[in-house]
Amino acid sequence: MPVNFPDVQGKRDTVKEQVTEDMLKEVIDLYISETDSISLLDIPSTFVSVDADDAEPIMERNNQYAEACRSRMDNDKYVDQSVQTLNGATKNKQVQSDSIVMVDKATTVTSWDVYDSLISPDVSVGSTDSTGNNASGWVLSPVMSLLACIILLCFSSASAASSLKEVEALGNSLNAESDLQLIMLSEKFQHCLLVMERSILGNIFQPQLAAYRQLPVIEDPESPVKPGMGEQREEDAESPRSPAVVRLWAFSCELSRGSSVSSMAWNKKNPDLLAVGYGEFGSSNQKPGLVCCWSLKNPTWPERVIRCDSAVTSLDFSSNNPSQLAVGMQDGSIAIYNVKSRDNKACFISSSGCPNRHLDPVWQLRWTQQELSLTGEEKVESLFSVAADGRISKWFVSNNDLMKLKKKSVLSALTPGLCFDFHPTDASVYLVGTWEGLIHKCSCSNSQQFLETFKKHFCPVNHVTWSPLSPDVFLSCSADWTIQLWKQDHHKPVLGFTSTQRTVCDIKWSPKWATVFGAVNEGQLEIWDLNSSILDPVIVQPAAAGVKMNSLLFAPQTDCVLVGDSDGQVTVYQLRNLCVGDSSQVTLKGKVAFSMQRLLLAWPVEAKCSGCQLGTAGKINEWINELCKYIKNK
């Protein structure tokens, strides 16, 4: 038998006939016909039909064979013989295959993991295709990463998988720089930083903020107790509780240092938000002004910084749209800013294009709700402004444009208005303080005449303010060193106050106590309580050296006072131990006032006249002293 060598393959040389183009084009006829039947296997049947011719001898032979089989055992004719098949020689052949890599992987599935996998099916299996994807492509939950590993193993060999991981690690270190850039630019990071800064400052200012919010100030139990502090605390506990102000903190930053604070206003909706306007006054050059919106949660840096074209003289927040801040400037223009947007160009309305605009510094602005709108539900808010050109204007905001609706020019150009205030309940009546020292009561409906005039001051009236708790009582302060207390129907002031010989810059009623008001003259902060004394302020806080106090603001819902000064700082003071008796109505004061007025009218005529002239501030005090003694003795 020839031995086959299947491994050895011989090559048969075949000669190929060159195929020419003519041969390709030749038409060749092919004939297909049936061939003869080729029989490959022919096994005749061993079955014979019973009806066949030779059936009988076959049946006989079958019977003979059956008989022979039966008698086979004992018969000598038949002998058993065995046969052995030869086993061929075996040959060993070996085949090697790649080993199967087995990796153990386990994961703990949590309920949020299942939730994530259900909700966000677009978390794809990461691959290192582009650097941009790398940052997010590998954020896989444990379940998905388990699947990812299995898939990787199925489709690649072990060596390929390990090289992939190396590429990942290399890729990541290169991407750290771009990661940082991406992160720093994202808005979420900015928000993150904001929250972080506030938490840090919350830690630093913890006791002061707690005092502001009238929470008990808790000492940090772990902080090291300084030896000096212990003694001081004992001293405080022992001394009698006299009214005082305690300095809590100051809003100041490098942007505002150097400019003087001109006005402050609380936001109507968010009681933690304070807008402060800064501007340089007294110098001839018009420096650009600044408005900073401070939040109580960050006393070191303002939330919003708005740069204005000229020095800011007045501010007010709107009540209807709490994010609108109206700013009046020294060049007479009024701008309305939207403090919600972080953009520096957040001004969306300015009156500089308006033909009827003011040309002189806008000394005060106020948003007031007056008329009902057409639907009768919401009150339309309009902006009133008083400026040094002697006009009081009412502005109406419509279609992103500031339009002047009615000119309430009750003052002539000779009498610049310095301040005004609307009556707390009747919004159509307001008071205006002028440069000449007159205070006019006017009405919105009558723009030609004053309703009343109050004459007392002989120097510019710096501020006039209605009492929020007692009706018909208002205060005015002026550069003639006095503060006057008026009642609406009396043409003469009911009470006058002086304490120092300086111009009184600002005066405000306390929102909580009807008999308490605060005043700043340039050198000190004074808190007066009419219940305890009408001669001297209850609390006096001198200003820091070289700094003049400019403006005052009471904090709503808490007993703190904010004072702005000429160095750009807004200091927060807390009023302590101010025992005020009955704070609902100014009844006691009313009685004193009434009796005093009766006495004033009963005095001889000369005394009354001399009390109204220049340079008699001291004399007025004398009279008041005597009257008080008189009343006390009664």
Rounded to the nearest whole angstrom, what is the least distance from the CB of residue 232 to another protein in the complex? 17
Alpha carbons 341 and 348: distance in angstroms, whole number = 11
Go through 220-256 and write b for each residue having 16 or more CB atoms within 10 A of its CB, e for each that does not: eeeeeeeeeeeeeeeeeeeeeeebbbeebbbbbbeeb
Examine residue 195 and tell whether it contacts another protein (CB under 8 A). Answer: yes
The pair of three-digit structure tokens given for residue 485, joined into one six-digit string: 């207390």
Q: What count of other Cβ atoms lies within 10 Å of the Cβ of residue 370?
A: 14
Q: What is the DSSP letter of 298?
A: B
Q: Which is nearer to another protein, 193 or 413 (CB)?
A: 193
Nearer to another protein, 37 or 111 (CB): 111
Q: Cβ 93 to another protein, closest distance in Å?
A: 50
Shortest distance, position 182 Cβ to another protein, whole Å = 7
Minimum separation from the CB atom of position 130 to another protein (A): 16
* 429-434 β-sheet, strand order: 417-422, 429-434, 438-443, 452-455
CB 304 to another protein: min, Å:
12
Residue 503 and residue 520 in contact, taking contact as beta carbons nearer than 8 Å: no
List the one residue from 107, 128, 145, 172 that touches another protein (CB under 8 A): 172
Strand order through the sheet with 304-307: 260-266, 273-279, 290-295, 304-307
Q: Is 138 in the site for another protein (CB under 8 A)?
A: yes
- Cβ(315)–Cβ(264) below 8 Å: yes
Q: Which range binds another protein by CB under 8 A, 198-206, 268-276, 463-471, 573-581?
A: 198-206
Helices (H), 481-604: 587-602
Site for another protein in 290-349 (CB under 8 A): 300-301
Taking the CB of residue 376, how many other CB atoms lie within 10 A of it?
Answer: 7
- With binding defined as CB under 8 A, does residue 203 bind another protein? yes
The upper half-sphere exposure of residue 157, i.e. CA atoms within 13 Å in the direction of its Cβ, equals 5
Stretch that binds another protein, among 65-73, 158-166, 183-191, 509-517 (CB under 8 A): 183-191
Cβ proximity to another protein: between 209 and 349 the closer is: 209
Q: How far is the CB of 139 from another protein (least distance, A)?
A: 6
> Who's near 349: CB < 8 A, 6+ residues apart?
335, 336, 397, 400, 401, 402
Distance of CA 154 to CAs 97, 145, 149, 225, 270, Å? 16, 14, 9, 66, 60
Among 164, 193, 215, 607, binds another protein (CB under 8 A): 193
Residue with the two structure tokens 């195929």: 19
CB atoms within 10 A of CB 347: 16
> Please, what is the minimum distance in Å from the beta carbon of residue 288 to another protein?
20
Identify the residue among 164, 196, 215, 535 touching another protein (CB under 8 A).
196
The footprint of another protein on this chain (CB under 8 A) covers a number of residues equal to: 41
Nearest distance from residue 192's CB to another protein, in Å? 4
Stretch that binds another protein, among 17-25, 131-139, 272-280, 522-530 (CB under 8 A): 131-139
CB of 9 to another protein, least distance (A): 56
Which residue, 190 or 557, is less far from another protein as judged by CB?
190
Instruction: Specify whether the CB–CB gap between 172 and 210 falls below 8 A.
Output: no
Contact between 453 and 433 under an 8 Å Cβ cutoff? The reply is no
Minimum separation from the CB atom of position 233 to another protein (A): 17
- When asked if residue 183 is in the footprint of another protein (CB under 8 A), the reply is yes
Interface mask toward another protein for 254-273; x: CB under 8 A: --------------------
Residue from 127, 147, 161, 197 that binds another protein (CB under 8 A)?
A: 197
Nearest to 384 by CA among 374, 395, 398, 376: 395
Determine the interface stretch with another protein among 110-118, 508-516, 583-591, 607-615 (rule: CB under 8 A).
110-118
Out of 87, 92, 130, 223, the only residue in the binding site for another protein (CB under 8 A) is 223
Taking alpha carbons only, the member of 429, 479, 476, 425 closest to residue 455 is: 476
Interface residues with another protein (CB under 8 A) are 110-112, 115-116, 135-136, 138-139, 172-173, 176-177, 179-180, 182-186, 188-190, 192-197, 199-201, 203-204, 206, 220, 222-224, 300-301
